[in-house]
Structure 1
Amino acid sequence: MNKMWSMLRLVIMAILALISVAPIVWMVAGAFRPYQELFKYTTLDWHLIVPVEWTWKNFHNVIFNARNPFLRYIWNTLFVASVVTALVLIINSMAAFAFAKIRFRFKTAVFALFMSAMIIPGEVTLVPNYLLMHDLGWLNSYKALIVPSMLSVFGIFMLRQFFAEVPNEMMEAARMDGASLPRTYVAIVLPAAVPALITLGLMTFLGNWDSYLWPLIVINEQKMQMIQVGISTFSSNEGTDWSKVLAANTLSTVPILLLFLFLQRYYIQGITMSGIKG
């Protein structure tokens, strides 16, 4: 019976995996199809996945598009996502360290106030944030994309859970050895939370890589635009060039897949440990 249940679980997991991967496979296959073939096969057929006529023209038209500089969009997104991720890890880890290991007045009340911000939908803050960026003169600049994204309430909560598990005896021993509070934070607390830091970094990078609405609002100059907004420019009043859209989406997916493949062990470990500790 145990063997049968194990086989049944494997079959169910395989089916779920196929359902999850099928849209990605179709997207990649569509990126190599000519436009005329894209919607020709709509039934369960081998050519639904494997193109009849393979072509690189879609990628060429996306990369070397004079009207929509796609490589520039990738660079903009890579720069903003990398800077935001680095700042989130630095700022939020310091805040989490303070909430987990430093005693100060009203700490519980302040932390509860931070947590209450998680119930506020992001759409509610769009207009106030836009007005703030306008008053600061940051519209149409990278500062409008980076600064509002530096703080992650969820990131502070998750890292606090990890930091709280670091024994206070280790910090006391470091203090007795003459280590300052910043040195204790860097040398003892941070190394203990590497899986959580990588998990938060991946989530932050992915969130900024897929960001669409906020860049659409605060960035007007085309050469400064982000990749998801750039992909949407392949749609116009005349129609949507789905071949270019699929090719652009395939190109934008590659960096995320490579990043996840290299760091998936830490990501899974961080998610698992945060679930146990939370």
Structure 2
Amino acid sequence: MKKRYISMIFVALLGIGLLSAGSACAAVDFPADEAGISAYVKAKTSADLNDAKPAFATIERETDDYIIGTVELAKHTEEQYPHVYVSTDGWVVAYYPNDRPSSWILPWADYAGGEISSTTLSKAAGTVCSEIGGTTTGLKYYDFRYEDASKMMIIVESTRNGANFFKVTLPTSFAAYAVDWSHYNDDLSDSYDGNKRDHSNAYLNDVKCSGIDGGDRAKYGSFSGEFENGMEHTVKIAAASSATGRIGLVLEYAD
């Protein structure tokens, strides 16, 4: 096992005033009490909701002013489809319900390693923006559960036929609001032996937190309460010979 390059990005969590009731440019009736981690953008000045409808796999709520539904993502399960709100005044908000860890934003099914260039939320928002002729320029992230969280960090490590790890220390001056993880197993065993299914396991401080026994699947959870500020924590991913294992960590915090 060796320490190696990992993919890491930092994202600001901001702009909630634009979606709050009472704001002059607020999105109409956005269900802030239902949403957790979200990505939003003012896609255009006004939008025709009929143009948006082809983007949705399901429509859960429809009024004269907005639509809320789920948007399909290729190679993802229906459970992984984000919810998306689009309004006649041009707001597009992709989000997961507030009972989901923020790590649901990791786009495992089409992530091949290297830099993290998108999330499930940015992809879903982009699909709706394209249908209405809008733009995702200026897309921002916010978590409606944690109004004081101002930053988000995403770390991803991968391995095939071995193990890799990264270490994280949260400074004592930081306030951590979410420390969520996702484990993905990419099983390539069918290419070698149709009767063999290969697995991967994820660990926090050498204690197993997740195992996937074959298949291409993802699991999600939270380390909140297990990450003590000022202490070094080791997150490790280990995979069998014909599997690629990935572990992602999403931290929301204020410094």
TM range (shorter): under 0.3
RCO comparison, higher one (Cα < 8 Å, 6+): 1
- Structure 1 or 2: more helix by fraction: 1
